[in-house]
């Protein structure tokens, strides 16, 4: 079956620092999204990340490098070159806009520097653009020296973007309530038909994705329960064991894993007894509560399609927790009491029949992340 063009009106430039071979969660989201469209209808302008682990880049899609991040080598070197690349990015944008003649730009945000540079160019050259926000801009910026920039960029986006697309219904509701901004949710696409691999469940919990300011305390608390209960804990994250230890996430039961092949990753999800989600409580970190409360972790659709039990630790009023509660598709542990957390994890392993319906319900929720449904919203957003 032929793939549809991303726009009926002409070609599009998709601007993101997160695209394969970069292995970040945002990179996977963009890959899954763009793989649904005719590659002749768009091009990707992206970044290189020397020194990072890599995943396979999709074949047939034109992805051109206009920015290089050196943060895996040195933050100091990275900041030095970033000052100059504010100008080189604009020169390269000018070249590729003239070459492609796009009807619209899609500027994706998991990075404030990138959103600032690219939206400035689009506004200056009067090029229509859609902002695709994985995180809230102001609320999601917690570094004090970047707060003013975040406010300026958000004002520019809200004023000049033809449309704003967000990562979840939680973000859409927040922007409507707080800023009276209408946006459209482009949910994470789950590209595979859910196939639960027949494999024996291991006495193992698994965490996918980065561990940082939004979730480090949550992961550390549950990790203590895993260690105490002799449960292996595999973590596929860019953080080293030393960095995890700095967050208090330590122990002989921890396995740092990396899956360059998606089939191996999905098999690991299916064989784990628990798939962990977690978000910090307000006040535990510098991240604004509105950002924490709207996050919908990019790994969630993969977890939902695995046939393994999802366990979330964090406040129950956050959107992620409410999704699991509404669909009865995961366990929500809303307490910071380590004894209570340990007791709940122990019950999951001792009485699995009590939770057997949740992985079944999880599979039923995947229609929300259906490629055809999401792609229809993408095309309508761009062409409106």
- Give the CATH number of the domain where residue 286 resides: 3.40.50.2000
Find out whether 21 and 29 touch, Cβ atoms under 8 Å. Answer: no
Beta bridge partners of 14: 44, 106
Predicted model pTM: 0.86
Ranges assigned E (strand) in the chain: 12-15, 42-48, 63-68, 104-109, 129-133, 163-166, 184-185, 202-208, 232-236, 254-256, 272-278, 309-313, 331-333
Would you state the pLDDT for residue 298?
A: 86
Domain presence at residue 1: no
- Residue that terminates a domain, selected from 159, 186, 213: 186
Regarding whether 212 and 79 lie in a shared domain, the answer is no
The whole domain housing 31 covers: 12-186
Whether the ω angle into residue 149 lies within 30 degrees of 0, i.e. cis, is no
Regarding whether 182 and 147 lie in a shared domain, the answer is yes
Tokens 């070159």, located at residue: 81
Q: Which of 181, 119, 183 is nearest to 150 (CA)?
A: 119
Number of domains in the chain: 2
As averages over each run of 10 residues, the pLDDT of the chain (384 residues) reads: 93 95 86 95 92 82 91 78 88 96 95 94 97 94 90 97 96 96 94 74 95 95 98 91 93 90 87 97 92 93 94 98 98 98 98 96 93 94 94
Regarding whether 165 and 61 lie in a shared domain, the answer is yes
Would you state the pLDDT for residue 195?
A: 64
Regarding whether 322 and 280 lie in a shared domain, the answer is yes
Would you state the pLDDT for residue 50?
A: 81
Cα 15–Cα 21–Cα 27 angle in degrees, nearest 5: 50
Regarding whether 260 and 332 lie in a shared domain, the answer is yes
Find out whether 52 and 23 touch, Cβ atoms under 8 Å. Answer: yes
Regarding whether 150 and 28 lie in a shared domain, the answer is yes
């Amino acid at each position: 079956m032929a793939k549809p063009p991303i726009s009926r009106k002409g070609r599009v430039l998709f601007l993101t620092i997160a695209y394969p071979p970069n292995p970040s969660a945002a990179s996977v989201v963009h890959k899954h999204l763009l793989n649904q469209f005719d590659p002749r209808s768009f091009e990707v302008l992206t970044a290189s990340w020397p020194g990072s682990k890599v995943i396979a880049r999709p074949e047939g899609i034109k992805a051109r490098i206009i920015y290089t991040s050196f943060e895996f080598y040195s933050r100091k070197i990275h900041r030095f070159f970033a000052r100059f690349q504010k100008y080189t990015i604009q020169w390269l944008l000018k070249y590729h806009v003239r070459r492609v003649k796009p009807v619209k730009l899609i500027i994706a945000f998991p990075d404030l520097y990138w959103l600032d540079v690219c939206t400035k160019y689009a506004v200056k050259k009067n090029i229509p653009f859609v902002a695709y926000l994985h995180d809230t801009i102001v609320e999601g910026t917690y570094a004090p020296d970047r707060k003013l920039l975040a406010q300026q960029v958000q004002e520019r986006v809200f004023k000049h973007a033809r449309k704003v697309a967000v990562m979840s219904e939680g973000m859409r509701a927040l922007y409507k309530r707080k800023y009276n901004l209408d946006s459209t949710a482009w949910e994470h696409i789950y590209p595979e038909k859910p196939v639960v691999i027949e494999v024996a469940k291991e006495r193992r919990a698994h965490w996918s994705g980065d561990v940082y300011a939004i979730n480090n305390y949550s992961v550390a608390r549950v990790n203590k329960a895993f260690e105490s209960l002799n449960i292996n804990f595999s973590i596929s994250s860019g953080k080293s064991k030393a960095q995890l230890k700095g967050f208090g996430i330590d122990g002989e039961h921890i396995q740092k894993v990396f899956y360059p092949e998606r089939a191996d990753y999905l098999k690991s999800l299916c064989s784990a007894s628990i798939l962990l989600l977690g978000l910090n409580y307000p006040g535990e970190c510098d991240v604004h509560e509105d950002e924490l409360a709207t996050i919908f972790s990019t790994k969630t659709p993969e977890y939902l399609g695995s046939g393994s039990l999802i366990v979330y630790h964090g406040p129950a009023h956050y959107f992620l927790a409410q999704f699991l509660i509404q669909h009865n598709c995961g366990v929500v542990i809303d307490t910071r009491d380590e004894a209570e957390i340990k007791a709940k994890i122990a019950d999951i392993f001792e009485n699995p029949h009590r939770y057997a319906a949740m992985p079944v319900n999880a599979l039923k929720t995947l229609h929300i992340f259906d490629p055809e449904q999401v792609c229809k919203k993408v095309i309508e957003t761009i062409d409106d």
